[in-house]
Amino acid sequence: MKITSDIHTHTYLSSCAARDSWPWDFMKVCGELGIKTLGFSDHLWDKAVPGASKWYAPQDVDHVFQLKEQLASQQCQEAVGDMKILFGCETEFLGGKHVALSREAAKLFDFVLIPPDHFHMKGFTVPADLNEPKDIKELMIRRFMEVMELDMATAVVHPFHAMGWTPEMPRLIQSMITDNEYIECFTAAKQANCAIEINTCAVKPVEDGVGDDSFSPEYVRMMTLARETGCVFSIGSDSHNPKSIAAFKYDRFERFTELCGIESILYQ
Ligand SMILES: [Zn+2]
Ligand SMILES: [Zn+2]
């Protein structure tokens, strides 16, 4: 299936993105690759919600809203063509009801991305001593279910990707999650009307992967189960620099969704 949407991109307004990650460059690069709906999703911690880390505190609603001015700029007007632009955000989630976006501010965005597993922020999103794979898996499943209970996310991003340990950790954790556990999670996502993101990390080649593309068998299993459960998907390059999109393009997403039988993608 031709991929025509990408709703996970970070501009220079995200502290971790390239300083020259300009919205008009995303428009140019994505437009050339056939993207018709482009969503911006800078990192966000709403000031109305207590508990921001030092890193998150400056990235509040006013900060992220600077993108609106950029979108009205001549450079963007020239680059946008007939592409549809969506103004979203990627907020943060600390478990329970602790999401870094108020209901009021959520209404200001076209879409809201919620990461259930930014587990690299030790001592903030997860306890500093969380290291046992069994415990990581349990917390990951619980957080996923809690995100669904919030009923706020347009899409749950990079689901079940245990970042912040070794490069092998995401796959190890995924291999420990049973089909039934996935199905329970994806059933909740379907009920909450929350899309499952296919992130760049899901389509990366692995050494002993599936087919010519060497897709991760664990990601193929996860996303095929999500599709069988009836979930809708979203596409997220999670680019922090428009140049990186020019380098990878969207064809791996296309072949991955075909392999998993996925046809239901948001904004396509
Ligand atoms: Zn993220
Ligand atoms: Zn992101």
Q: Which residues neighbour ligand 1 (ion) by CB within 5 Å?
A: 115
Question: What per-residue confidence (pLDDT) applies to 163?
Answer: 96
Q: Report d(CA 83, CA 35) in Å as an integer.
A: 7
Residue 115 CA to ligand 1 center (angstroms) comes to 6
Q: Would you state the pLDDT for residue 248?
A: 76
Residue 98 CA to residue 117 CA, distance in Å, equals 13
> What separation in Å is there between the alpha carbon of 137 and the centre of ligand 2?
21
Ligand nearest to the CA of 117: 1
* Contact partners, residue 247, CB within 8 Å, separation at least 6: none
Give 52-61's long-range contacts (Cβ < 8 A, gap of 24+).
52/100, 53/121, 53/124, 55/15, 55/121, 56/92, 56/100, 58/15, 59/13, 59/14, 59/15, 61/105, 61/108
Nearest ligand (C-alpha, residue 115):
1
pLDDT tens, position by position, 213-251:
999 999 999 999 999 999 999 999 999 999 998 877 899
Task: Enumerate residues 6+ apart whose C-beta is below 8 A from 135.
Answer: none
Ion ligand 2: residues, CB within 5 A, are 90, 238
> Which helix (H) or strand (E) covers residue 246, if one does?
helix 242-248
Query: Ligand 1 centroid to 75 CA: how many Å?
Result: 27
Q: How far is the CA of 26 from the centre of ligand 2 (A)?
A: 15
Report the distance separating Cα 219 and Cα 177, nearest Å: 12
Give the ligand with the smallest distance to the CA of 238: 2
State the pLDDT at residue 247: 79
The closest of 143, 148, 156 to 197, measured between CA atoms, is: 156
Domain boundaries of the chain, sorted by first residue:
5-259
Question: Burial, 250: exposed, middle or buried (Cβ in 10 Å; 0-12, 13-18, 19+)?
Answer: buried
- pTM listed for this prediction: 0.97
Side-chain-side CA neighbours of 66 within 13 Å: the count stands at 14
Residues of the chain with pLDDT under 50: none
Ligand found nearest the CA of 239: 2
C-alpha 207 – ligand 2 centre gap (Å): 25
Q: 224: CA distance to ligand 2 center in Å?
A: 23
Query: Which of 24, 48, 50 is CA-nearest to residue 38?
Result: 24
Q: How far is the CA of 237 from the centre of ligand 2 (A)?
A: 8
CATH topology of domain 5-259: TIM Barrel (3.20.20)
3-state secondary structure of 122: strand
Whole-number pLDDT of residue 249: 83
